[in-house]
Chain A
Amino acid sequence: MSRAGVLLAALLVTADATAAEQIDHSTMDHSSLDHAAESSAIVTPIPQLTDADRAAAHEHHGGHETFDNAVNDYLLFDRFEYFHGEGEDGLAWEANGWLGTDINRLWLRSDGARVEGTTESADIELFYGRSISAWWEVLGGVRRDFKPGDARTWAAIGLQGLAPQRFEIAATAYARSGGHTAARLEAGYRLLFTNRLMLQPLLDAWLYGKDDAARGTGSGLSTLEAGLRLRYEFTRRFAPYVGIELERAFGDTATLRRADGLDVTGKRVVLGLRTWY
């Protein structure tokens, strides 16, 4: 058959197919199912297997390489900043990161501040975390406060994840010897002005079971920090920011502060860099 002939044949077949398709669509009943049932005899027989087929098939090679349980890691310096407050300037940080698989992770969290060359506060938390649902994981581990005052070690359990409307939430309960207990609630959000310029509100609340005068913390709601940071992501990994942070002490903590001649409220202007690895 000539080329033109082949083409013509193809076109005719197409026209037929189009017509058939139109009929199918217009009737919209399930007649084609019945049609399929009628024509269920095998058209192309299944080849008889040979020893060569079996030889090619029956070897085991250990399974395909996969990375689905690979150990990955992430370290975020959410805040790494210079702050200027009422009567004091310094550096502060807050970092968190994980090492692990999709479900099981080791978590590291740390925050602290240095003022005039000395560390005013610093802590490290180390947790085992396990995802219990699509958006939440439970944590268990330890917290070590290096400053202020003498170092203290807490046992900790917590819950963290992404709440509806994409609020990042972490709630942690702590206990240490002497019947001391504490709880911390953190919440964060990200509001996009553009896909590079974004506002990050943060809330951080501490509660204690009983007074610890050496550390200046009192029972009940102790402190509440509220921050607002405006960052620009030049790249995902390099995002300088400016912001303000307000802090207020409550209850016994406020009383202890007043007794020490310290302010109950604080206001800071911050300038920092958010980065991750």
Chain B
Amino acid sequence: MAALDLWPRGAGAQQPAQSAVLTGTEFDLAIGETAVNYTGNWRPAVTVNGSLPAPTLRWREGTTVSLAVRNALPPGSLHGDSTSIHWHGILLPASMDGVPGVSFSGIRRGEAYRYRFTVKQAGTYWYHGHSGFQEQAGLYGALIIDPAEPEPFAYDRDYVVQLSDWTDLDPAALFARLKKMSGYDNYHQPTVRDFIRDVERNGFKATARDRAMWGAMRMSPSDLSDVNANTYTYLMNGTTALGNWTGLFRPGEKLRLRIINSSAMTYFDVRIPGLKMTVVAADGQYVHPVTVDELRVAVAETFDVIVEPSGQDAFTIFAQDSARTGYVRGTLATRAGMSAPVPPLDPRPILTMADMGMAHSGHEMDMEMEAMPNHAASEQHNPLVDNQALMPGSRLDDPGNGLGGNGRQALSYSMLHSLFEDPDGRDPSREVELHLTGHMEKFAWSFNGIKFSGAENLRLNYGERLRIVLVNDTMMAHPVHLHGMWSDVEDDHGAFQLRKHTVDMPPGSRRGYRVRADALGSWAYHCHLLYHMAAGMMREVQVVES
């Protein structure tokens, strides 16, 4: 077993190497096990060609790429003996999508699978394993597709900023732990002291009413994420905060940062103190440039931002988890070995009425009628559904719980508009409403209260344009990813707004998106929080000839 020492020892930490960049149309990728050390312990990671993250692949729009992926996992690997690679957000034939059991049969130890398809798009994407929990163990890499046409923005240098969450635990053991005790990592539950403080601040009656409400739901207002820095070590380009991944610049240069969230479970809030970020693409697709101080990156989303560092020799890229339990940072600097001040974690938010699905409680009645959800019969009296949104709103203008209101301009979906008109042009001919459901204590997750193993496939007719409406009945955010086809997010008036491959669904939200069913075959459709998918928040979508 090869070893990759990523643990910075003392102050003289080594400048870590960037993952290799492989370019061209022919690629040989070997998936194996490599010992890594992020915490002081050596642990077996799943790597590609020995590297974590996997090598950055650089394709060109319009070319046909051929990728031989070989399973070199050692016998007896705790990560299993079958593997796969899924090209996240890429339009391709169903048999090339890399989802075992849906698009192909997986790649067994010692065998290889040849992926071959024509690249029909450009931008920043990523790829990852879709077998077992290998994605948690390091099987992810960046995908850059250079466009056939010039891009509508300019830059001098180009860096991948790939964020992820690492655990020394066997990921299967972490999943089992979530099943035993889902609140294991929540060390910020309200205490007696918080009660006294709230009584002083809000009075006894209001405080007691608040506690009684949460108590009636058997939920915790501090339940912001299932797994946090109590378990995870956060990584930027495969490097810890101590390792301080560094991207170099010359003053006056424009940098394009390709921010990719390759976490299994962690939402990151990213900012660069002292610099504005101009978002030019979301999920690989151009958007009207919008300049912000900060943005939340849901799991599996990518954002391309342009920054123009000047006036300082070093800037910190600060990525804190949305639960405010930890961070990873890197540095943009004029020389290697520099660093800039690292800000403290922001104050920890608590869940709000909007997170409970009561976004419209203060609005006019006609607004409420519009948002009234239709809960499926399968949700009623279902032991695996612990909450239902009463009046969910789109929350498109909400940058995320804990963002905004602090003087920093934070990105929200309402600020993102594709740089192009609706490429399909048709209105949806039908609507499918699906509810994101779950049970926090049991750590059971589903659509409409039905877990993947018990669910019918979702059938789409080849060529149709339909609207999927998602309602998040849970108090967790879910990044929902449909393979093989775009998810064209609609604005609050039902018009095309933003092309995405992964749609973030904040707690208690209701969002609609258009899908053009132009990809024949079977496709995975799931929450991209790895353990939510494993626990059942998944469907198979079949696009069939009518």
Q: Which residues of A come within 8 Å of B, CB atoms?
A: 1, 3-4, 6-7, 9-11, 13-14, 17-18, 21, 24, 30-33, 35-37, 39-44, 46-47, 49, 52-70, 72-74, 102-103, 131-135, 137, 162, 164-166, 191-196, 236, 276
Contact in complex: A1, B150 (CB < 8 Å)? yes
Known: A41-B426, A66-B452, A103-B384. 10 other contacts (CB 8 A): A35-B495, A36-B493, A53-B520, A61-B100, A62-B101, A72-B180, A74-B180, A164-B216, A195-B187, A236-B184
Contacting A165 at CB < 8 Å: which of B132, B215, B421?
A: B215
With A32-B491, A68-B453 known as contacts, the answer to whether A165 contacts B93 (CB < 8 A) is: no
Q: Measured between C-beta atoms, what is the minimum distance from A122 to chain B in Å?
A: 26
Chain A residues in 8 Å Cβ range of B159: none
Contact in complex: B180, A56 (CB < 8 Å)? no
Measured in the bound complex, the distance between the Cα atoms of B281 and A169 in whole Å is: 52
Q: Is B105 an interface residue (CB 8 A)?
A: yes
Contact in complex: B94, A57 (CB < 8 Å)? yes
Measured in the bound complex, the distance between the Cα atoms of B446 and A39 in whole Å is: 36
Q: Is B102 an interface residue (CB 8 A)?
A: yes
With A42-B426, A194-B193 known as contacts, the answer to whether A61 contacts B101 (CB < 8 A) is: yes
**Can you name 11 A-B pairs with beta carbons within 8 Å?**
A13-B152, A13-B288, A14-B290, A36-B493, A43-B423, A46-B462, A56-B94, A56-B520, A57-B94, A65-B131, A68-B451
Q: Measured between C-beta atoms, what is the minimum distance from A14 to chain B in Å?
A: 5
Measured in the bound complex, the distance between the Cα atoms of B536 and A69 in whole Å is: 8
Chain B residues in 8 Å Cβ range of A9: 152
Contacting A59 at CB < 8 Å: which of B95, B289, B518, B535?
A: B95
With A42-B425, A46-B518, A61-B105 known as contacts, the answer to whether A33 contacts B495 (CB < 8 A) is: yes
Which one of B199-207, B310-318, B325-333, B436-444 is at the interface? B436-444
Contacting B153 at CB < 8 Å: which of A6, A39, A73, A192?
A: A6
Chain B residues in 8 Å Cβ range of A21: 417
Q: Is B303 an interface residue (CB 8 A)?
A: no
Measured in the bound complex, the distance between the Cα atoms of B94 and A54 in whole Å is: 9
Q: Is B110 an interface residue (CB 8 A)?
A: no
Q: Measured between C-beta atoms, what is the minimum distance from B202 to chain A in Å?
A: 19
With A17-B417, A195-B189 known as contacts, the answer to whether A7 contacts B101 (CB < 8 A) is: no
Q: How many residues of B contact A (CB 8 A)?
A: 83
Measured in the bound complex, the distance between the Cα atoms of B150 and A51 in whole Å is: 34
Contact in complex: A36, B494 (CB < 8 Å)? yes
Contacting B154 at CB < 8 Å: which of A3, A66, A102?
A: A3
With A65-B101, A67-B535, A68-B444 known as contacts, the answer to whether A56 contacts B521 (CB < 8 A) is: yes
Q: Is the interface of B mostly helix, strand, loop or mixed?
A: loop
Measured in the bound complex, the distance between the Cα atoms of B76 and A101 in whole Å is: 26
Q: Is B355 an interface residue (CB 8 A)?
A: no
How would residues 243 to 270 of chain B score, 1 for a CB under 8 Å from any chain A CB and 0 otherwise? 0000000000000000000000000000
Chain B residues in 8 Å Cβ range of A60: 522
How would residues 79 to 118 of chain B score, 1 for a CB under 8 Å from any chain A CB and 0 otherwise? 0000000000000011110011111110000000000000
Q: Measured between C-beta atoms, what is the minimum distance from B4 to chain A in Å?
A: 28
Chain B residue, CB-CB nearest to A10: B152
Chain A residues in 8 Å Cβ range of B424: 42-44
Q: Is B354 an interface residue (CB 8 A)?
A: no
Contact in complex: B493, A24 (CB < 8 Å)? yes
Measured in the bound complex, the distance between the Cα atoms of B191 and A196 in whole Å is: 10
Nearest 10 Cβ contacts at the A-B interface? A57-B521, A68-B536, A43-B425, A56-B93, A165-B215, A131-B383, A32-B493, A57-B520, A3-B154, A46-B463
Q: Measured between C-beta atoms, what is the minimum distance from B116 to chain A in Å?
A: 11
Chain B residues in 8 Å Cβ range of A18: 288
With A47-B518, A166-B215 known as contacts, the answer to whether A56 contacts B101 (CB < 8 A) is: no
With A53-B520, A236-B181 known as contacts, the answer to whether A40 contacts B425 (CB < 8 A) is: yes
Contact in complex: A134, B192 (CB < 8 Å)? no
Contacting B442 at CB < 8 Å: which of A31, A54, A70, A102?
A: A102
Contact in complex: A32, B102 (CB < 8 Å)? no
Measured in the bound complex, the distance between the Cα atoms of B452 and A65 in whole Å is: 10
Chain B residues in 8 Å Cβ range of A11: 289
Chain B residue, CB-CB nearest to A236: B184
Chain A residues in 8 Å Cβ range of B100: 61, 64-65
Measured in the bound complex, the distance between the Cα atoms of B427 and A33 in whole Å is: 10
Give the interface centre of A39, A68, A134 by most chain B CB atoms within 10 Å. A68
Contact in complex: A43, B545 (CB < 8 Å)? no
CB contact list, B407-426 vs A, under 8 A: 417, 419, 421-426
Chain A residues in 8 Å Cβ range of B152: 6-7, 9-10, 13
Contact in complex: A65, B518 (CB < 8 Å)? no
Chain A residue, CB-CB nearest to B172: A67
Chain A residues in 8 Å Cβ range of B180: 72-74, 276
Measured in the bound complex, the distance between the Cα atoms of B288 and A262 in whole Å is: 84
Chain B residues in 8 Å Cβ range of A30: 493
Give the interface centre of A30, A102, A193 by most chain B CB atoms within 10 Å. A102
Chain A residues in 8 Å Cβ range of B33: none
Q: Measured between C-beta atoms, what is the minimum distance from B175 to chain A in Å?
A: 6
Measured in the bound complex, the distance between the Cα atoms of B422 and A44 in whole Å is: 10
Measured in the bound complex, the distance between the Cα atoms of B217 and A134 in whole Å is: 10
Contact in complex: B191, A102 (CB < 8 Å)? no
With A54-B520, A193-B192 known as contacts, the answer to whether A102 contacts B215 (CB < 8 A) is: no
Chain B residues in 8 Å Cβ range of A67: 175, 534-535
Q: Measured between C-beta atoms, what is the minimum distance from A10 to chain B in Å?
A: 4
Q: Measured between C-beta atoms, what is the minimum distance from B524 to chain A in Å?
A: 6
Q: Is B540 an interface residue (CB 8 A)?
A: yes
